[in-house]
Amino acid sequence: MSSTNATTTIVAEGNVTDDDSPISNITAINVTEMVEIPECADSSETQYYWYRVALDITDNISTTGGIRWWMLVALIIAWLVVYLIIRKGIASSGKVVYFTAFFPYIVLTIFLVRGLTLKGASAGIAHMFTPDVRKEAS
């Protein structure tokens, strides 16, 4: 069950004089409470991140939510790379093969190094390689 902290500022009005002067004796109270978001309670952290942060989808299909600039830029770059690859035809296919063969390994190595340097990486690796026999028995 996921929840989030919400801070609400409550402003209570004080005495107001008859001559339209500013409000006096204004009190501001900060109230911090846990607010449960139903969508978070119904889904996992991974699903919430994918749909609400990465994709930033809307609540229903009739609301488009506008163009996401980072996705548009990624799409343009992808099509530009495809165009540059096929522009020269078969003459550049050898270079394309070298790029497509080695580039994924370079990216995976970068992700591995980044993942190993994150906080809690050792606990995650220990959890991944330590089987939970109770779950396998049921």
Domain positions in the chain = 1-64
**Alpha-carbon distance values, 100 to 13, 41, 81, 106, 107 (Å):** 66, 41, 12, 11, 11
- Which residues, 6+ apart, have CB-to-CB distance to 25 below 8 Å? 14, 15
Backbone torsions φ then ψ of 6, nearest 5 degrees: -125, 130
Q: Is the pLDDT reported for residue 96 higher than 70?
A: yes
Residue 1 has pLDDT above 50, yes or no: no
Asked if the model's pLDDT at residue 57 lies above 70, the reply is yes
Beta bridge partners of residue 7, listed in sequence order: 32
Determine how many CB atoms are found less than 10 A away from the CB of residue 50.
13
- Looking at residue 124, its pLDDT comes to 87
pLDDT-derived band at 64, boundaries 50, 70, 90: confident
Residue 14, pLDDT above cutoff 80: no
Give me 81's structure tokens: 């790379």
Does the pLDDT value for residue 137 go beyond 60? yes
Average pLDDT, the chain: 76
Q: Which tens digit of pLDDT belongs to each residue from 121-133?
A: 998 898 889 888 7
